[in-house]
A and B are shown apart, each in its own frame.
Chain A
Amino acid sequence: MLDVRGLRKVYEGSGRRTEAVRDLTFTVGAGELVCLVGPSGCGKTTLLKCVGGLLAPTAGEVTLAGRKVDGPPPGTAFVFQEYGRSLFPWMRVGANVELPLKQKGLGTSRRRELVADALESVGLADAAGAYPWQLSGGMQQRVAIARALAYEPDVLLMDEPFAAVDAQTRADLEDLVRGLWRERGITVLFVTHDIDEAVYLGERVIVLSSSPTVVQEQLEVDLPLERDQLSTRVAPRFAELRTHVYERIQAAKRGAATRPAGTDAPPPR
């Protein structure tokens, strides 16, 4: 579905050359939920913007369903970390969700249907007439998720979407995303710096090194499909996996030699 091959991104500016991403190769299968986790400042956002066609890579390429990405692809929806700035404050919630659909050229009744359905899915059926800034942070991020859902994407790209909400809201939103993923079969690429979140959410976790970024490890999360905040987070297997990822990231921070990236076996049970 989504193929990232030899991706490299170098920023040039005012005599300074920063290699944010060195060499990234991974694939995401159709309908998979993959979490990208790495130390802070490791170029996760850069990577996601390249995947979403918002940034042009210096080398390498991203292909989506066999087509090379050289601009924002139509079947991709983006959820940003800064929900307050990503939602347009001059539009009511309903209009925010509807705007991308107008661009798609959908008819009024179809648009209304999609908006109502998406807001319903995130539990904000009544909020269509409110302005985003009248809602709490968690609700605003729900609106941003609804906007992405209404767009009916094949691929959902989420850039640390819950980094700015409080812990309880965050847990709710994590369950919301997992629920929507199972319900709608969307391919999700979820970037986070939170190891627990990555393991809890993902079917697979890709661990990135510090900048300049390479893939440090890929890890299948063999937790049951049905997860919940209470039992999953205290399961011994969850603890093993998060410890493993934690160690890998610590190693990455220290700049320890990276193992050749590939399909690593998960740590033995």
Chain B
Amino acid sequence: MIETPEPDLRKQAQRAGSLTMTGSVATRVLGVVALAAVGVMALLALWISPADAVQGDAVRLMYVHVPSIWVAYGGFVLTAFASARVLWRTRSGAGGTYGVIADRQARRWDRVAGAAAELGVLFTALTLVTGSLWGKVTWGTYWQWDARLTTTVLLFVTYLGYLALRRLPAESRARARRSAVMALIAVVNLPIVHYSVDWWRTLHQEASLNLEPGGDRNITGEMYWTLLYSWATFTVVALWIGIHRYRVLRLEELAEEASLEELLAQRRDEQTAGR
């Protein structure tokens, strides 16, 4: 006897087909807040904050360059944390089945890991581009074989590889667990990038803000507050993009499952009609 597809799977297929938006009221509000914050940031960075005595107007690139890498670090740390959760939720004996991720929490953490890694890669690319432009103005060249620059490029390529691994066709459980392992190895590079300016003699300047107790600030006044504000703005923008990317990943999964169910239903209909 040929079974008809389950009604909820049909419903899921229709739902995935009809869902084309990733926005909600909350994300629209967040988007407006992010846009307004970027406007204020532009005002602070381009007009209110003074030019540097040595670097001149080139210092204004710092308000994009430094927050970008902070957000990228945050994205990569979140990827590692979410990946650890994926491994924990899909461990043997945790109720997982072979082939697909049965656990909803594990699926969610896997999407968080993917979305956060994409954010990290995007903001690392922005860091490299703005750093390169700053280098041209200050050092007279777009690129120097400097420890910070080189380790940042390696970090960027590492996570490009991570995204490539996520894109390979595989069963969802295998793909999620394989990617999770890679994320945990890749995050080891993060402290090396951050401390490279202390460990090697580099052209790159030391950290702009020393967050350790009693640490010196390399910048003060309007520059200091503009930098902190830029960081908050970039965090809001990243949050907004991240939520949308998370929802895109969820829609992709739904569409993938729905198209499979559609094909199965079509095949069943063909067989029924042939009898």
Partners in one complex: no
